[in-house]
Chains A and B, each alone.
Chain A
């Protein structure tokens, strides 16, 4: 008797939704960025859980690719935050609206 797969999926759903709530409610660009990382990790947990329960290693390779994309996203995203901060002296997403209208 092991921990059932559905528990892992529910945990992953909770983590993903926490990330969504953070993206929708926070205004600090870096915190929003960290919430995106949290969502990526929730999906990784789903992939690993299915990989172990189905006996197929493909899910684990996918997790590595997701990590690589997350690393690339981290580098570019933080560079954008630095560039924005240099121009506006803030990371408040509500005041960054040059492209809005």
Chain B
């Protein structure tokens, strides 16, 4: 019990810190590294929520594929020391921060002021068995087979689109 709370606080603090660092860093490479730390914290939180397969998938797909792609593009465009892009405090950034703070207030207010049935107090007893590869795979290739196939089509479209967009000329 205590260990779970300790782990949650540690991981939550890590996730929030890396997220805030990501939007405060001037250097895009440092932003990317902060975001990778955030993904690792989220993967550990998934483990805490007994979603083992998703924790592994989070690291493989996000940290291993998407972030490598992002870092690769940052290196390719050589954005390391971009002085011209130094973000100056402007009206827009203060308005943006205010809007984001308002959104946070709204979200938390909705959570605590809502009416209707309360949130479940504890994790469902079956939660330990539904995060396995077997359970997720059964759901994905049974009930969600059609969306799964559509997703493959989406990925194909994305591949073709990325090649066409990034090519110098066709």
Which residues of A approach B to under 8 Å, CB–CB?
1-11, 13-28, 30-31, 33-35, 37-38, 41, 44-45, 48-49, 51-58, 60-61, 63-65, 67-76, 78-83, 85-86, 90-92
Chain A residues positioned under 8 Å from B157 (CB to CB): 72
Contact at A53–B70, with CB atoms within 8 Å?
no
Question: A2-B4, A10-B111, A74-B66 are contacts. A61–B136 as well, Cβ < 8 Å?
Answer: yes
Contact at A53–B4, with CB atoms within 8 Å?
no
Looking at the assembled complex, report how far the CB atom of B10 sits from the nearest CB atom of chain A, in whole angstroms.
Answer: 12
What is the chain A residue whose CB lies nearest that of B158?
A72
Which residues of B approach A to under 8 Å, CB–CB?
1, 4-5, 8, 12, 15-16, 19-20, 22-23, 28, 31-32, 35, 38-39, 42, 45-46, 48-51, 53-54, 57-58, 61-62, 65-66, 69-70, 73-74, 76-77, 79, 82, 84-85, 87, 92-93, 95-97, 99-101, 103-104, 107-108, 111-112, 119-127, 130-131, 135-136, 139-140, 143-144, 147, 151, 154-155, 157-159, 161-166, 168
Chain A residues positioned under 8 Å from B1 (CB to CB): 1-2
Chain B residues positioned under 8 Å from A17 (CB to CB): 100-101, 103-104, 107
Given contacts A24-B96, A79-B166, 10 further A-B contacts (CB under 8 A): A10-B108, A19-B23, A23-B96, A44-B42, A57-B139, A60-B54, A78-B162, A79-B163, A82-B165, A92-B85
Contact at A75–B158, with CB atoms within 8 Å?
yes
Chain A residues positioned under 8 Å from B161 (CB to CB): 75-76, 79
CA distance A45 to B39 in the complex (A): 11
CA distance A41 to B18 in the complex (A): 13
5 CB-based A-B contacts, threshold 8 Å: A4-B119, A31-B23, A48-B46, A52-B50, A72-B155
